[in-house]
């Protein structure tokens, strides 16, 4: 390894030390009754509230929905994560000292693996807390689960839950970039190295580009199907392709029409529609629940279609799933291909 | 029509036209249009007012908190009157606050708020207020907006000239309104001139929990009306208005209005301190109470005091002088420079203004006009700086802005008059509705007034608002004084009868407002800090129940074993540590009020059950979606029965118990936030 590589490796390892002092992740809860804010930090060895009594307040509120108390003591990972982190830092510094390229690639791989496992584990905890509810819970909403999003924002009853990396987590991301940079810097111009770099870049790129792009709603974006300016936050839709491109639409109908008209369905990586109950929030189309209403604000393309992540109290209208929507749009708008449910299930849906 | 008829018609028409013109003309108001005034006082939803205004409750005995410029009522702070709404003076912790040497007194009459000052400027630490009927001074803490200390004033009757702060709040000063025999004794009332005296009291106030009477000065048997501390050039002096120099004791209305001049008493309290240090004061036996709330347990204790230091002016030359002042003066106010002492001679046709520097010179040159009880009377011409001529009828009180202007309230002509210090010329006047008493300008009694607004507090309401029967709310008006001309902005009704007020910019104290009491600081002997901490015990005929209140249940909530005739004491702790989450507590049929509990505090309510049965209790302050479910039962058995004492604690569901066990088995790390 050249000097730059070694310095970047050492810097990456040292940056990770920040995780002992700064939280990795944060979950924030917003509701009208809490103008002063409410939230919690997940640190490498502890879970604590934003304010001194925030965690206590959150647990108090959660007793209504039967969620078990969030306590550092009941999460074993918080006891051994500090050791794993120490191992990562020490091995990183050792790699920088030893200077063998192969070791660097291994270390980088372990870092990425640790991050993936960490996020997966966080997801699992979120799932458990959100679904494993006391059956004597005071407030029971049928079908409702309280899993916070892994990353991003979600409406849970009267709270908007936002999950995002905290300052330590962002510094850890910078450490990854340093480590990746170390692997890239002073690389030999051999084909094997290039493949390795390209593979890493692709892996990183694939991870990042899989995330749906936010829609601006400020008049700068137009629907790719009907060319109208996208302004209504309740109806935006999007398709992400395998190459990482985002195509945006002003309505569910336009997305459906676009998808139906695609020659190569394999190019579609993911489909997104807006949760009507949480304007501005995109949810996967294939798992969304659609409502076709005859009154109230109409959808931009006139078929009265709205998407929801969960059933809404007092909702009225015809309930559809994504396959139904594709059929409906194709038949109502006279698309070039006449679609049937069976062909969709095979070809379009994943 | 002939000529005579035309002539009569012409005259009649002219008279009619003139009458109509006269009747229909309105005096020039000089006011903003309604839209301009509205935008000046509109505080949009979600926004805050610019000023906290503290208005005395008058005959309701409490302290009112309003926001300016909106005029919105923010809070009524319980001071001297029992308040069944939150248990003040009913729960066991606060009953001692209303103890006096006359026993428990459930009401008083509050007149004059005084913000504590540092270097002559309100600093937002405390607010002081007087009890007029049973002379007392209360301290209100401006982090919790609660009364934390009350000191009774002995050798006094009617604490009207009270409390007024010195520029560093070293003292808050009080004077007796009525003269009485000192010490009080069984004497004929007509022996007034021989036996009745007055006192001025200097109370040390700069240490919370330690209010004490530093000394009292014995004075002639007049009525003492109001006071003001000197500031800046007159720092170290204090001024009181007196009336009834006639020493009348019946039908004062007539008999106390005979003398052309009464007095402003000028007290050199630095001189008083010297005399006291030299041993000139006498320790006189007197019974009075000092009541203090402990800041950690929030339990009040009433201490008996038995002696007070009294200084007689004949033993301390130079401690007090009398300045003749027309005529039955009411208000006495000192301008921001400390040089001018304005007296509101309520029956006078002028506003007399004494000069501090001339007063000092008159003393030096011994320009005396006799004395009373060894107190020199200064010559009027020697001390007077000027008189504001024809200000209006019935001048009462004066406040000041930062531009050398003075504003005086006129009770009889129902207006505020603005005039210039030094030139004594009247600059502007504005009618107020109706019959104004005090006025208040933010900082208007301090060394550096904030100015901007003036609040007029009126005594007669009549048609200002929708009528509500014979007893009407008193009217206050908000006036803009930022320009050359005063303009009326807002008219708002007030609770009780605000006499005087104090205001401070919200930005100076807003952040100090406490959001909750820390449970970890709660040293109340019966506090419960966890949901499992409650319980019941019997001590003879007293049954103590310790209970936690949390959204949305009480722990315990099923109680048995109480008997008819027991003294049952519910010690309830609100264990929340969250902003604005309160719980209430009330028992069916209790001969007592409810409890309202702030987060983190413990309060006790006493109940003596009279009949056997099962009695519900419940949370009275809407706390949560399940507030209606926040209830419990207490079983009362006949006296002498052998029903076991029982109190269930928070029963958790089976799955919660299992989870708790898992947590315990997993070993415990520090759980943050508890």
Q: Nearest-CA distance from B614 to chain A in Å?
A: 26
Nearest chain B Cα distance for residue A262, angstroms: 50
pLDDT at B54: 98
Chain A residues closer than 8 Å to B599 by CB: none
Q: Which residues of B touch A (CB under 8 A)?
A: 550-551, 576-579, 625-626, 653, 655-656, 659, 662-663, 666-674
Q: Are B332 and B240 in contact (CB under 8 A)?
A: yes
The residue in chain A having the minimum alpha-carbon distance to the alpha carbon of residue B661 is: A74
Size of interface A-B (CB pairs under 8 A): 59
Express as a percent the part of chain B with pLDDT over 70. Answer: 93
Helical axes A167-184 vs A101-131, angle rounded to 10°: 150
Which of these, A71, A127, A81, A83, lies nearest to B664 by C-alpha position? A71
A54 neighbourhood in chain B, CB within 8 Å: 673
Q: Among A286-295, B364-373, B429-438, B589-598, whose mean pLDDT is lowest? A: A286-295
Residues of chain B in contact with residue A46, where contact means CB-CB under 8 angstroms, are 669-670, 672
Does A32 reach chain B within 8 Å, measured CB to CB? no
Beta carbons of B153 and B201 less than 8 angstroms apart: yes
Of the two residues B292 and A144, the one the predictor is more confident about is B292
Interchain contact, A64 vs B668, CB within 8 Å: no
Which residue in A has a C-alpha nearest to residue B669's C-alpha?
A73
pLDDT at A347 over 70: no
- The nearest CA of chain B is from the CA of A60 a distance in Å of 8
> In this structure, what are the phi and psi dihedrals at residue A347, rounded to the nearest 5 degrees?
-90, -40
- For chain A positions 134-173, those within 8 Å of chain B (CB to CB) are 134-136, 138-139
Higher-scoring residue by pLDDT: B260, A195: B260
Q: Do B655 and A72 touch (CB under 8 A)?
A: no
- Cα-Cα end-to-end distance for chain B: 102
Which residue on chain A is closest to B663 by alpha carbon? A74
CA–CA min distance A71, chain B (Å): 6
Instruction: Sheet containing B646-647: give its strands across.
Output: B595-597, B583-587, B613-618, B631-637, B558-563, B646-647
- Residues B451/B439, Cβ–Cβ less than 8 Å: no
- A289-305 residue pLDDT tens: 898 887 666 677 778 88
Q: What pLDDT does residue A279 have?
A: 87
Measured between alpha carbons, how far is A25 from A41 in angstroms, rounded to an integer?
A: 6
For the stretch B208-257, pLDDT in tens is 999 999 999 999 999 999 999 999 999 999 999 999 999 999 999 899 88
Question: With 80 as the cut, is the pLDDT of residue B544 above it?
Answer: yes
Contacts of B550 in chain A (CB under 8 A): 60
Ranges A212-221, B364-373, B422-431, B463-472: which has the least confidence:
A212-221
Full set of structural domains in chain B with CATH: 78-219+281-315 (2.130.10.10), 519-659 (2.60.40.420)
At residue B409, the 3 state secondary structure works out as: strand
Q: How far apart are alpha carbons B257 and B347 in whole angstroms? A: 8
Task: Tell if the CB–CB gap between B670 and A72 is shorter than 8 Å.
Answer: yes
Percentage of chain A beyond pLDDT 70 is: 87
Q: What is the mean pLDDT of chain B?
A: 92
> Long-range CB contacts (< 8 A, 24+ apart) of A73-81?
A73/B663, A73/B666, A73/B667, A73/B668, A73/B669, A73/B671, A74/B659, A74/B662, A74/B663, A74/B666, A75/A47, A75/A125, A76/B666, A77/A121, A77/A125, A78/A44, A78/A45, A78/A46, A78/A47, A78/B669, A79/A45, A79/B669, A81/A44, A81/A45
Q: Compare all CA atoms of chain A with the CA of B519 and give the residue at the minimum distance.
A: A53
CA separation for the pair B380, B366 (Å, rounded): 13
Using the beta-carbon criterion (under 8 Å), do B578 and A79 form an inter-chain contact?
no
From A207's Cα to the closest Cα of chain B, the distance in A is 34
Q: Model pTM?
A: 0.78
How sure is the predictor about B3, in pLDDT bands with cuts at 50, 70 and 90?
Answer: confident
- Of A8 and A261, the structure prediction assigns the larger pLDDT to A8
Can you give the pLDDT at residue A294?
Answer: 75
Contacts of B667 in chain A (CB under 8 A): 73
pLDDT (average), residues A323-339: 71
- Say if CB B379 and CB B367 are below 8 A apart: yes
CA B137/CA B204 separation, integer angstroms: 11
Tell me whether residues A134 and B674 touch, CB distance under 8 A. no
Reply yes or no on whether the pLDDT at B23 is more than 70.
no
Question: Exposed/middle/buried for B232, CB within 10 Å: 0-12, 13-18, 19+?
Answer: middle
Indicate the domain borders of chain A: 3-209, 237-347
| Chain A residues in contact with B576 (beta carbon < 8 A) | 60
A77-96 residues touching B, CB cutoff 8 A = 78-79
Q: What is the pLDDT of residues B96-144, one digit of tens each?
A: 999 999 999 999 999 999 999 999 999 999 999 999 999 999 999 999 9
Least CB–CB distance from B666: residue in A45, A76, A134: A76
- pLDDT above 80: residue A193: no
Q: Would an 8 Å CB–CB cutoff place A318 in contact with chain B?
A: no
| Span between the terminal Cα atoms of chain A, in Å | 43
**ipTM of the shown complex:** 0.77
CA angle A171, A175, A181 (to 5 degrees): 140
Interval B525-538 mean pLDDT: 92
Average pLDDT for residues B557-567, to the nearest whole number?
Answer: 96
Determine the residue among A38, A53, A75, A141 to mutate to test chain B binding: the one whose Cβ has the most chain B Cβ atoms within 10 Å: A53
Nearest CA in chain B to A57: B578
For residue A173, the Cα-to-chain-centroid distance in whole angstroms is 16
The pLDDT, as a whole number, for residue B653 is 43
Q: Which among A46, A47, A134 has the least Cβ separation from residue B656? A: A134
- Note the pLDDT tens digit of each residue in B579-593: 999 999 999 999 999
Residue A72 contacts B, CB cutoff 8 Å: yes
Strands in B501-505's sheet, in edge-to-edge order, are B72-77, B63-68, B51-56, B501-505
Alpha carbon of B353: minimum distance to chain A alpha carbons (Å): 51
**pLDDT tens digits along B298-354:** 999 999 999 999 999 999 999 999 999 988 899 999 999 999 999 988 878 899 999
Strand partners, B407: B399, B418
Residues of A320-340 as b/e, b for ≥16 C-beta within 10 angstroms? bebbebbbbbbeeeebeeebe
């Amino acid at each position: 390894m050249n000097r730059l590589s070694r310095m970047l490796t050492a810097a990456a390892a040292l940056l990770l030390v920040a995780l002992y002092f700064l939280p990795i992740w944060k979950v924030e809860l917003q509701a009208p009754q809490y103008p002063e804010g409410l939230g919690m930090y997940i640190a490498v060895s502890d879970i604590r509230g934003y304010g001194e009594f925030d965690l206590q307040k959150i647990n108090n509120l959660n007793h209504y929905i039967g969620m078990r108390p969030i306590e550092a003591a009941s999460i074993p990972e918080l006891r051994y994560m500090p050791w794993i982190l120490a191992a990562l830092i020490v091995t990183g510094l050792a790699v920088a000292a030893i200077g063998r390229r192969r070791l660097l690639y291994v270390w980088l791989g372990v870092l990425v693996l640790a991050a993936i496992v960490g996020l997966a584990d966080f997801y699992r905890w979120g799932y458990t807390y959100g679904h494993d509810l006391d059956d004597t819970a005071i407030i029971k909403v049928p079908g409702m689960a309280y899993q916070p999003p892994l990353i991003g924002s979600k409406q849970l009853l009267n709270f908007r839950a936002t999950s995002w990396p905290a300052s330590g987590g962002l510094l850890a991301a910078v450490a990854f970039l340093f480590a990746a940079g170390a692997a890239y810097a002073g690389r030999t111009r051999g084909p094997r190295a290039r493949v390795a770099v390209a593979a890493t870049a692709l892996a990183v790129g694939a991870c990042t580009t899989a995330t749906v792009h936010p829609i601006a709603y400020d008049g700068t974006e137009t629907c790719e199907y009907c060319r109208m300016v996208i302004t209504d936050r309740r109806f935006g839709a999007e398709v992400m392709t395998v190459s990482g491109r985002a195509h945006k639409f002003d309505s569910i109908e336009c997305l459906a029409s676009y998808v139906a008209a695609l020659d190569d369905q394999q190019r579609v990586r993911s489909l997104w529609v807006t949760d009507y109950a949480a304007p501005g929030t995109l949810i996967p189309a294939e798992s969304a629940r659609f409502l076709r209403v005859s009154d109230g604000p109409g959808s931009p393309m006139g078929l009265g279609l709205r998407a929801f992540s969960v059933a809404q109290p007092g909702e009225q209208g015809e309930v559809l799933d994504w396959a139904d929507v594709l059929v409906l749009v194709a038949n109502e708008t006279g698309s070039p291909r006449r679609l049937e449910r069976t062909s969709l299930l095979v070809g379009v849906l994943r | 029509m002939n000529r005579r008829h035309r002539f009569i018609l012409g005259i009649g028409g002219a008279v009619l036209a003139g009458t109509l013109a006269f009747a229909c003309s309105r005096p020039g108001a000089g006011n903003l249009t309604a839209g301009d005034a509205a935008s000046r006082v509109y505080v949009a939803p979600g926004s805050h007012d610019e000023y906290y205004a503290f208005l005395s409750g008058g005959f309701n005995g409490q302290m009112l908190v309003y926001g300016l410029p909106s005029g919105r009522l923010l809070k009524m702070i319980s001071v001297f009157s029992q308040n069944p709404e939150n248990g003040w003076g009913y729960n066991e912790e606060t009953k001692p606050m209303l103890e006096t040497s006359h026993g428990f007194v459930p009401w008083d009459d509050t007149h004059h708020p005084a913000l504590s000052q540092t270097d002559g400027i309100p600093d937002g630490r405390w607010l002081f207020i007087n009890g007029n009927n049973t002379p007392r001074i209360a301290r209100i803490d401006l982090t919790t907006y609660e009364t934390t200390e009350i000191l009774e004033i002995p050798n006094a009757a009617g604490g009207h000239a009270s409390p007024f702060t010195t520029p560093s709040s070293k003292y808050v000063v009080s004077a007796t309104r009525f003269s009485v025999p000192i010490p009080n004794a069984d004497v004929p009332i007509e022996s007034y001139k021989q036996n009745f005296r007055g006192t001025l009291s200097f109370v040390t106030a700069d240490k919370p929990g330690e209010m004490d009477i530093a000394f009292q000065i014995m004075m002639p048997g007049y009525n003492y009306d109001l006071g003001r501390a000197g500031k800046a050039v007159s720092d170290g002096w204090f001024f009181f208005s007196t009336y009834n120099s006639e020493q009348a004791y019946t039908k004062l209305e007539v008999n106390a209005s005979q003398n052309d001049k009464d007095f402003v008493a000028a007290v050199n309290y630095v001189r008083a301190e010297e005399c006291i240090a030299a041993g000139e004061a006498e320790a006189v036996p007197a019974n009075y109470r000092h009541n203090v709330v402990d800041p950690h347990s929030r339990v009040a204790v009433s201490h008996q005091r038995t002696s007070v230091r009294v200084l007689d002016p004949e033993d301390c030359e130079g401690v007090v002088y009398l300045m003749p002042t027309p005529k039955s003066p009411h208000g006495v106010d000192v301008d921001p420079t400390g040089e001018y002492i304005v007296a509101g001679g309520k029956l006078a046709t002028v506003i007399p203004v004494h000069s501090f520097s001339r007063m000092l010179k008159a003393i030096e040159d011994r320009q005396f006009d006799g004395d009373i009880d060894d107190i020199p009377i200064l010559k009027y011409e020697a001390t007077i700086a000027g008189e504001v001529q024809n200000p209006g009828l019935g001048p009462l009180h004066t406040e000041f802005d930062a531009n050398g202007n003075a504003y005086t309230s006129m009770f009889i002509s129902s207006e505020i008059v603005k005039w210039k210090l030094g030139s004594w010329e009247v600059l502007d006047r504005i009618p107020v509705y109706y019959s104004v008493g005090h006025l208040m300008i933010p900082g208007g009694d301090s060394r550096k007034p904030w100015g901007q607004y003036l609040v007029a507090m009126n005594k007669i309401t009549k048609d200002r608002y929708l009528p509500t029967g014979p007893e009407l709310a008193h009217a206050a008006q908000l006036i803009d004084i930022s320009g050359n001309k005063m303009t009326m902005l807002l008219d708002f009704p007030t609770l009780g009868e605000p006499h005087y007020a104090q205001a401070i910019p919200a930005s100076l104290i807003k952040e100090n407002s406490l959001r909750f009491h820390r449970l970890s600081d709660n040293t109340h002997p019966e506090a419960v800090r966890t949901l499992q901490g409650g319980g019941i015990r019997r001590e003879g005929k007293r049954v103590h129940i310790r209970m936690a209140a949390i959204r949305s249940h009480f722990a315990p909530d099923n109680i048995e074993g109480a008997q008819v005739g027991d003294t049952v004491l519910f010690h309830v702790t609100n264990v929340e540590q969250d902003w604005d989450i309160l719980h209430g507590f009330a028992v069916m049929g209790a001969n007592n009020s409810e409890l309202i509990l702030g987060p983190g505090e413990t309060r006790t309510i006493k109940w003596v059950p009279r009949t056997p049965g099962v009695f519900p209790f419940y949370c009275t302050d809407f706390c949560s979606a399940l507030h209606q479910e926040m209830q419990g039962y207490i079983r009362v058995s006949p006296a002498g029965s052998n029903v076991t004492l029982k109190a269930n604690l928070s029963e958790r569901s089976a799955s919660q118990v299992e989870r708790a066990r898992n947590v315990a088995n997993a070993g415990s790390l520090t759980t943050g936030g508890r």
